[in-house]
Amino acid sequence: MIERVAYLSMHTSPMLQPGVGDAGGLNVYVDELARTMAKRSVNVNVYTRRTDPAQPDHVQVADRYRVHHIQAGPPEPLPVAELPKWIGLYAEGVIRDLRASPPTDVVHSHYWVSGWAGVLAKEALQIPLANSFHTLGRIKDISRRSDEPLSSPMRTLTEEEVIARSDCVIASTPYEFDDLLDHYSASPERLCTSPPGIDHSIFKPGDREAAREWLGLPPGPVVLFAGRIQALKGLDVAIGALARMDQPAQLAIVGGPSGRAGDAEVEHLLALADGLGVSSQVHMIAPQPHAQLALFYQAADVLVMPSRSETFGLVAAEAQACGLPVVASRIGGIPYVVADGESGILVDVGDEPGFAAALDKVVGDPTLRAAMSAAAEIKSGEFNWKATADRLLELYHGITGGDGHPPVSQR
Ligand code: UDP
């Protein structure tokens, strides 16, 4: 029986607002999973790096769910590129706390920096290690925008090492599973697939007109984007598509700057919209508390996800749960989340005319939109946190079973 797990999330805390900076799907994943595991009587200790001197050593977020702030490097937000030099200290802090606590059954690390700390903890304490990458450097590099740098060799080599030294690597879709095989030569018996979930008590269909009124959205069709603003997310493609659309749509962008370029990407997007003559149709909206996003999904006509790379795409899954059709890139895990031609339309990465045509089609045809909305809600039923927690508990059992491997390799 799994009684106690440690979740390592060095580079970002599950307590942060998602949709800005380094906080996004990973934060939602760790938080939702921790809450669901805690409700299953598992004690969850999440270890993150202290980014503010005022942060207490730990915060009891919910019954059996605690977040620890580990002192590793200056107590201030740091770019991910600065973190590798502090991984050793972070791992030391985690190991110290795990040693002083009742026995922990499994360490589950998230992202490559924590993956390395997980390897150090596993080797120091002989605790089985599962790792979820959430994003893989080599995969992100394949379709990156031309002005974006490649992932550092430090990252990709660390990913290789974490894959080789974990007891299990958890892919969120069969596509990520294949990426781990094809681009990292992972051994298949160490891999399994477990998709994230959706909180269906929050993300569900609602009264569209009431949501629009409450949010004060302008009249006319609304194309919604939600998430971190960076080149990877392809908002430049969304703005290019908006300028090509026949329908007079508004583009609502909910989220904030993220990653290396930060505010410069937002400025680039605003200048692009200006140059294309669609500034008045582009609305930048500050990041919203997670539950509040449901109102935006309920109010919009279609979600656009023009990502250049996307391991899963929680936003697409949440939107569908609210009955919102999705127009998204055919990349990464998106085809696993969005049923092409049923719950949405998939378009080649960067294909602005293709995105414009697909958005026009959904926005301009109420019958099609209603059919896609119904299909979206059905598709979203495939994802829920209880099922994710059950699968992971089974997996944790497998790696604590003595042979150091999950029971079966499951695509
Ligand atoms: N999100 C949010 N508020 C915002 C924007 C985004 O809570 O203003 C959440 C969103 O609900 C989703 C996550 O951030 O759960 C983004 O996850 P996704 O997988 O789409 O992208 P990632 O950040 O992992 O690249």
CATH number for the domain including 215? 3.40.50.2000
Is 408 contained in some domain? Answer: no
**pLDDT of 26 over the 80 cut:** yes
Is 311 contained in some domain? Answer: yes
Q: Best of 314, 329, 380 to mutate for ligand 1, by most ligand atoms within 8 A of CB?
A: 314
Is 327 contained in some domain? Answer: yes
Angstrom distance (rounded) from CA 78 to CA 60: 24
Tell whether 394 and 352 lie within a shared domain.
no
Measured in residues, the chain has a length of 411
Tell whether 181 and 230 lie within a shared domain.
no
Output the pLDDT for position 22.
86
Q: How many CB atoms lie within 10 A of CB 75?
A: 15
Is 341 contained in some domain? Answer: yes
Tell whether 143 and 178 lie within a shared domain.
yes
Distance 123 CA to ligand 1 centre (A): 33
Tell whether 388 and 373 lie within a shared domain.
no
Angstrom distance (rounded) from CA 160 to CA 314: 25
Tell whether 227 and 182 lie within a shared domain.
no
**pLDDT of 403 over the 60 cut:** no
Tell whether 180 and 247 lie within a shared domain.
no
Tell whether 9 and 127 lie within a shared domain.
yes
Q: Whose CA is nearest to atom 7 of ligand 1?
A: 290
Residue 97's pLDDT band (cuts 50, 70, 90): very high
**pLDDT of 12 over the 50 cut:** yes
Q: What is the pLDDT of residues 149-183, one digit of tens each?
A: 999 999 999 999 999 999 999 999 999 999 999 99
Tell whether 354 and 392 lie within a shared domain.
no
Output the pLDDT for position 76.
97
Using DSSP, state whether 202 is helix, strand or coil. Answer: coil
Output the pLDDT for position 405.
41
Measured from the CB, is residue 68 less than 6 Å from ligand 1?
no
Output the pLDDT for position 259.
82
Output the pLDDT for position 262.
86
Output the pLDDT for position 219.
84
Output the pLDDT for position 217.
83
Q: What is the pLDDT of residues 319-344, one digit of tens each?
A: 999 999 999 999 999 999 999 999 99
Is 346 contained in some domain? Answer: yes
- 3-state percent breakdown (helix, strand, coil) of the chain, nearest 5: 45, 15, 40
Is 124 contained in some domain? Answer: yes
pTM of the predicted protein model: 0.96
Distance 24 CA to ligand 1 centre (A): 4
Measured from the CB, is residue 18 less than 6 Å from ligand 1?
yes
Averaged pLDDT for residues 30-54? 98
Measured from the CB, is residue 226 less than 6 Å from ligand 1?
yes
* Domain ranges, residue 274: 208-380
* Count: domains in the chain: 2
Tell whether 247 and 185 lie within a shared domain.
no
Output the pLDDT for position 408.
39
Measured from the CB, is residue 133 less than 6 Å from ligand 1?
no
Output the pLDDT for position 175.
98
Tell whether 322 and 394 lie within a shared domain.
no
Angstrom distance (rounded) from CA 66 to CA 55: 13
Averaged pLDDT for residues 281-302? 96
Which of 21-30, 206-215, 378-387, 400-409 is predicted with the least confidence, judged by mean pLDDT? 400-409
Smallest CA-to-CA distance from 192 within 386, 36, 399, 339 is with 399
Tell whether 58 and 120 lie within a shared domain.
yes
Tell whether 171 and 33 lie within a shared domain.
yes
Q: How far is CA 263 from CA 13, 145, 230, 277, in A?
A: 22, 17, 9, 21
Is 405 contained in some domain? Answer: no
Q: Best of 215, 297, 307, 315 to mutate for ligand 1, by most ligand atoms within 8 A of CB?
A: 315
**pLDDT of 216 over the 50 cut:** yes
**pLDDT of 402 over the 60 cut:** no
Q: How far is CA 267 from CA 223, 249, 279, in A?
A: 20, 21, 12
Is 202 contained in some domain? Answer: no
